[in-house]
Amino acid sequence: MKKAAALFIIFIVLISACREKNPCFIKLPSLISDNMVLQQKTDARIWGKANAAHKIIVTPEWGNPVTVKAGKDGKWLAVIPTPVAGGPYTIRIKGSDTTITINNVLIGEVWFCSGQSNMEMPMAGWGVDTIMHAAKTIAEASIPDIRLFNVQRKVSGVPLDECTGKWEVCSPETVRQFSATAFFFGKKLNSDLQIPVGLIESAWGGTPSESWTSPEVLRNAGEFVEEINAMDSDGASLAEYQTWLDGHKQIEIKSAGDDQWKDLDFGDAGLASVDFDDSTWPSIELPGKFESKLGEFDGAVWFRKIVELPKELEGKNMILTLGPIDDMDRTYFNGELVGTTETVGFWQIGRIYEVPGRLIREGKNVISVRVLDTQGGGGIWGEPGSMKIVTKDSKMFNFSIEGYWKYQPVAELIGNKFYVFDFSRNDFSEKKRPKSLGPYSPSTLYNAMVYPMLNYRIKGAIWYQGETNVGRADQYAKIFPLMIQNWRDAWEIKDFPFYYVQIAPYIYAGLDSANSVLLREAQAKSLSVPKTGMVVTLDIATVMNIHPPYKMQVGERLANLALAYDYGKVVPALGPVYKSMILDGATLKIAFHNAGSGLVSKTEYIPEFEIAGKDGKYTKAIAKIVGSEVWVSSPEVREPVSVRYCWKNGAIGTLSNKDGLPASQFRTKI
């Protein structure tokens, strides 16, 4: 008996040892976490990684356990049916030696919210770019049934399994840096449906639609083939570059407030010194964007210039004018900080800093500027003549500081992480950086900010993008519908709702030009794709600012499309759309869909209508509302054959139906 007992003990010890040598090591993606919302009444997916062949048991509080096994690659996925909206619930995920409990899980409606800066623009705004009603909305944003997940920005040349982000309960603190458009959309859904709403924001300012489309779809369409092939061939060098970056000091941006960019320390303070030797730095001509030298680059770049000043200026107070800097800066004169702009949103605002007379010397003076760019183009980029030093009192002395400056990148920003270079030996300059890697390259955001979401069940998507594709309307008309179908196929959710925002009027190439009009026309053509809807913003534009502040109207109009077509609610969702036209003498009588009980205008005559005769020369028309029609004419056009509405970059729409929804732009001929 003693021998048998001893053998049993040895057996137990061996089993325990085996377990220690082959632990389960369950790892969950960031999307599967506390506070998440799962799509109601669907086959939700819970997934992760573990050591190969380990059994994983997923037990939702509302249902039966589901058992799966990790594959050879360690990946596992469990499908769990979800009930009607409700919660909060817990989900327990158990392995041989690990149990993870996910808490505060809600069941409701999940929407994917994507696009460029007008989708990314947060409730707190960006400096001079503000959101209407922001302060009141933020203060009242304690809504525990709304959950927010902000996908951190990242690019990749290959599809990624994971993204960085965190599910958070909606509160005044968490909503400040969340998409205003997406929040207003979710807030209205939650209010009208009285069920939980989960919002996944995956947006990046300045990015084109092709960045959000898979390489296979673009290649099959014959678009961006050369760029995609270059990215494929650069695969090894991209991986090598990332490995090289990973060997550097890293600084993670954890906060999401207004102060997240202030006083960042890359160990680079000495680069402002008068005595710093920048002789090995390359040169760049300013004003200009540093992408001309670096390719697509976000991060911190130093600029230095020696200026020789005459004796009569010594000790005099001066004004340093740099022009606009994209995005932020710390500016030094002879090693002393003379001005900072370290809040986003001021990329179009000129920098004007006072330099005290005690810093002004006869002969050699050093100006040094650390520019921090978080997205899009970066640099000291104003018009010629914007960079100068002038005397403060009489302003008689005007000394240009344009021309060649020394420059050196000190930290690259990828996602929410800075990679700090060893600038003591200029290691960035020594490393060949693949230029095909960037947020504006085809497919890079699909790979990094869409693909990791594909296991997560969603109800649908909202989209606000198009400004960056202005000037390529014909191409957009082709690739935008392909992107919509691409997402539906990739998610394996047939014809999920896809609602998007038509870009607003903006100056672009000039208020009277029509390049943005053609892009809006291309967007409207995508309504031929099933289960799509478009929000018109002709009436809520700020033509001198590409970021209109009226995000509440945009979000609520998107929500009304969903409420009307997905949730069976009777709400106004569509504005007037051109239907038909007849010629009556010298007058064109235009009828509209969605005119309802009639049309209205902010003015008696509608100034955005133009008509033309057979010569094709358009002239401003006299346009007036008659019931549910608009009648247009002009004494200069006796035999009109065509009409157009809001056919300029800067045309603000005044025509709407009585529900207050604006008419779409259009052009037509008899």
pLDDT score for 664: 98
Residue 163 pLDDT > 50: yes
pLDDT score for 11: 43
Structure tokens at 593: 């869909």
pLDDT band, very low/low/confident/very high, at 8 (cuts 50, 70, 90): very low
* The domain boundary residue, chosen from 400, 430, 460: 430
pLDDT band, very low/low/confident/very high, at 585 (cuts 50, 70, 90): very high
The reply to whether 53 falls in a domain is no
pLDDT band, very low/low/confident/very high, at 253 (cuts 50, 70, 90): confident
DSSP assignment of 256-271 equals: -STTTTTT---S-GGG
**CB 581 within 8 Å of CB 591:** yes
pLDDT band, very low/low/confident/very high, at 18 (cuts 50, 70, 90): very low
Residue 169 pLDDT > 90: yes
Neighbours of 457 (CB within 10 A): 20
pLDDT score for 10: 44
The reply to whether 620 falls in a domain is yes
The reply to whether 536 falls in a domain is no
The reply to whether 273 falls in a domain is yes
CA 206 to chain centre: 7
The reply to whether 45 falls in a domain is no
Residue 16 pLDDT > 60: no
pTM given for the model: 0.88
The domain total for the chain is 2
Paired sense of beta strands 86-94 and 99-115, if any: antiparallel
User: Does the N-terminal peptide bond of residue 327 adopt cis geometry, omega within 30 degrees of 0?
Assistant: yes
pLDDT score for 243: 87
**What CATH number corresponds to the domain at position 342?**
2.60.120.260
**CB 656 within 8 Å of CB 539:** yes
pLDDT score for 7: 46
Type of residue at 249: K
pLDDT in tens, 40-97: 999 999 999 999 999 999 999 999 999 999 999 999 999 999 999 999 999 999 999 9
**CB 575 within 8 Å of CB 657:** yes
Residue 325 pLDDT > 50: yes
pLDDT score for 256: 57
pLDDT score for 79: 98
When pLDDT is averaged across residues 180-189 and rounded to a whole number, the result is: 98
Please write down the HEC assignment for all residues of 648-664: CCCCCCCEEECCCCECC
How many percent of the chain have pLDDT more than 70?
96
Residue 17 pLDDT > 50: no
Residue 440 pLDDT > 50: yes
pLDDT score for 425: 81
* The domain boundary residue, chosen from 430, 459, 487: 430
* The domain boundary residue, chosen from 430, 449, 466: 430
User: Tell me, what DSSP letter sits at residue 478?
Assistant: H
The reply to whether 188 falls in a domain is no
| Angle in degrees, CA 49, 52, 54, rounded to 5 | 85
Q: How far apart are CA 135 and CA 149, in angstroms?
A: 21
Residue 118 pLDDT > 90: yes
The reply to whether 292 falls in a domain is yes
pLDDT in tens, 288-305: 999 889 888 899 999 999
pLDDT in tens, 19-40: 445 789 999 999 999 999 999 9
The reply to whether 180 falls in a domain is no
Q: Which domain holds residue 605?
A: 577-669
Most confident of 22-31, 372-381, 549-558: 549-558
